[in-house]
Structure 1
Amino acid sequence: MSTQPGSPEKKTAYWGVPWEDAYGYAQAVQVGNEIYVSGQLSHDSSGNLIAPARLDENGKPSDFSTMEAQMRATYENLATLLGRFGATLDNVVEETVYVLDVDAAFAVAGKVRKAAYGTERPQCASNLIGVSRLAMPPQLIEIACKAVLSPKATA
């Protein structure tokens, strides 16, 4: 909960992974009926990356074949975090997908997103953005989102 006078009441969620303390952030924050989820990646409950990309001699990903596995695990992590606030992926209104290789992501995104959201047309705005680097070298994808709870869920 927030302790600063005049600041909104916040509920937060953490994984307990080392980079939360190193960088200093919450994985998700709820203010009122809105939930803001920080960029998620494909890690297990201990913080180990799932399906890490193979790196070249310069420490950069050289193989993007694990994009689908990383994307699936990332959506699972999003769903888990949202669940801590009584939400599901159905509550997501906007997502931003950051990837190192747009073509590799686009090749699997439709199938993975439809499975994660459980529908042929996920009801959220979506941005797919190619970036030159993510936080951890073997990471190919990161997904952030905003979700909205119905007013009854926050009462």
Structure 2
Amino acid sequence: MKTESFGVPWEESYGYVQAVRCGDTIYISGQLSNDGPDLVAPAPVDEQGRITDFGNMGEQMRQTYVNAAALLARFGASLADVVEEVIYVLDMEAAFAVAGPVRKAAYGVEIPQVASTIVACSRLAFPAQLLEIKMVARA
């Protein structure tokens, strides 16, 4: 078994790794739009920590795929090896407005050959986070 991490603070505080390879299967933990410890395109939040605008969904989704691709590359794999993804979003309408084009660009094909599920949820790890994507790849 081989593991990979980014060295961000929440890996230690929560206690997990970003990816695990067992045999020919790679499990990617839920990825978000971070660049190091900083969130890329954080959503604006009000005084109570509620998101006031979901307009950064596309930017966050793009960076999330970049991060997943970087992890896969550490195992000699790519997004082309992903067989399943689950996308957790805070706002389904905002996600549907960008998911098709962003996913197609990330995978580099018009119809990504990946089983995909998108789920609306009430909260994610960070207040300004709009989505999270977990994956399973075979390489």
The TM-score range, normalised by the shorter chain, is over 0.9
Per the alignment, residue 20 of structure 1 pairs with 11
Per the alignment, residue 111 of structure 1 pairs with 101
Per the alignment, residue 45 of structure 2 pairs with 55
Equivalences for residues 29-68 of structure 1 within 5 A? 29-44=20-35, 46-68=36-58
Aligned-partner Cα distance in 2 for 1:35–1:96: 14
Equivalences for residues 2-151 of structure 1 within 5 A? 10-44=1-35, 46-149=36-139
How far does the alpha carbon of each residue in 1:7-33 deviate from its partner, in whole angstroms, 9 at most, with x for none? xxx100000000000000010000000
Aligned-partner Cα distance in 2 for 1:57–1:132: 18
How far does the alpha carbon of each residue in 1:55-101 deviate from its partner, in whole angstroms, 9 at most, with x for none? 01210111100000000000000000000000000000000000000
Aligned length: 139
| CA displacement at 1:110 relative to structure 2 | 0.2
SS of structure 1 residue aligned to 2:85: strand
Following TM superposition, the consecutive aligned residue runs of length 4 or more in structure 1 with deviations greater than 2 angstroms are none
Structure with greater strand share of residues: 2
Aligned-partner Cα distance in 2 for 1:57–1:68: 24
Amino acid at match of 1:86: G
SS of structure 1 residue aligned to 2:52: coil
Normalising by structure 2, what TM-score? Answer: 0.99
Larger radius of gyration: 1
SS of structure 2 residue aligned to 1:122: coil
Unaligned runs of 5+ in 2: none
Aligned-partner Cα distance in 1 for 2:52–2:127: 11
